[in-house]
Amino acid sequence: MADTRQDDVATAMREHVLLPAQEMARLGTATQPVLTHAEGIYVHAADGRRLIDGPAGMWCAQVGYGRKEIVDAIAHQAMALPYASPWYMATSPAARLAEKIATLTPGDLNRVFFTTGGSTAVDSALRFSEFYNNVLGRPEKKRIIVRFDGYHGSTALTAACTGRTGNWPNFDIRQDRISFLSSPNPRHAGNRTQEAFLDDLVKEFEDRIADLGPETIAAFLAEPILASGGVIIPPKGYHARFKEVCERHDILYISDEVVTGFGRCGEWFASEKVFGVVPDIITFAKGVTSGYVPLGGLAISDKVMARISGENAKGSWFTNGYTYTNHPVSCAAALANIELMEREGVVEHAREISGYFADALASLLDLPGVADTRAVGLVGCVQCLLDPTRADGNDDDKAFTRKIDERCFELGLIVRPLGDLCVISPPLIITRAQIDDIVAILRQAISEVGAAHGLTSKEAAVG
**Which residues are near ligand PLP by CB under 6 A?**
58, 117-119, 122, 151-153, 223, 227-228, 256, 258-259, 285, 296
Q: Which is nearer to ligand PLP, 230 or 368 (CB)?
A: 230
Residue 378: CB atoms within 10 Å: 27
Q: Which is nearer to ligand PLP, 146 or 441 (CB)?
A: 146
Smallest distance, ligand PLP to C-beta of residue 446, A: 25
Smallest distance, ligand PLP to C-beta of residue 49, A: 26
Q: Which is nearer to ligand PLP, 209 or 258 (CB)?
A: 258
Q: State how far the Cα of 25 lies from the Cα of 11, in Å rounded to an integer.
A: 17
Q: Which is nearer to ligand PLP, 226 or 461 (CB)?
A: 226
Smallest distance, ligand PLP to C-beta of residue 228, A: 5
Q: Which is nearer to ligand PLP, 287 or 369 (CB)?
A: 287
Q: Which is nearer to ligand PLP, 151 or 275 (CB)?
A: 151
Smallest distance, ligand PLP to C-beta of residue 327, A: 14
CB 38 within 8 A of CB 44: yes
Smallest distance, ligand PLP to C-beta of residue 225, A: 9
Q: Which is nearer to ligand PLP, 151 or 180 (CB)?
A: 151
Q: Which is nearer to ligand PLP, 157 or 461 (CB)?
A: 157
Q: In three state form, how does the secondary structure of the chain look?
A: CCCHHHHHHHHHHHHHCCCCCCCHHHCCCCCCCCEEEEEECEEEECCCCEEEECCHHHHCCCCCECCHHHHHHHHHHHHHCCCCCCCCCCCHHHHHHHHHHHHHCCCCEEEEEEECCHHHHHHHHHHHHHHHHHHCCCCCCCEEEEECCCCCCCCHHHHHCCCCHHHCCCCCCCCCCEEEECCCCHHHHCCCCHHHHHHHHHHHHHHHHHHHCHHHEEEEEECCCECCCCCECCCCCHHHHHHHHHHHCCCEEEEECCCCCCCCCCCCCHHHHCCCCCCCEEEECHHHCCCCCCCEEEEEEHHHHHCCCHHHCCCCCCCCCCCCCCCHHHHHHHHHHHHHHHHHCHHHHHHHHHHHHHHHHHHHHHCCCEEEEEEECCEEEEEECCCCCCCCCCHHHHHHHHHHHHHHHHHCEECEEECCEEEECCCCCCCHHHHHHHHHHHHHHHHHHHHHCCCCCHHHHHC
Q: State how far the Cα of 460 lies from the Cα of 185, in Å rounded to an integer.
A: 26
Q: Which is nearer to ligand PLP, 57 or 450 (CB)?
A: 57
Smallest distance, ligand PLP to C-beta of residue 451, A: 34
Smallest distance, ligand PLP to C-beta of residue 161, A: 9
Smallest distance, ligand PLP to C-beta of residue 129, A: 16
Smallest distance, ligand PLP to C-beta of residue 47, A: 28
Q: Which residue is nearest to ligand PLP (CB)?
A: 118
Smallest distance, ligand PLP to C-beta of residue 155, A: 8
Q: Which is nearer to ligand PLP, 141 or 264 (CB)?
A: 264
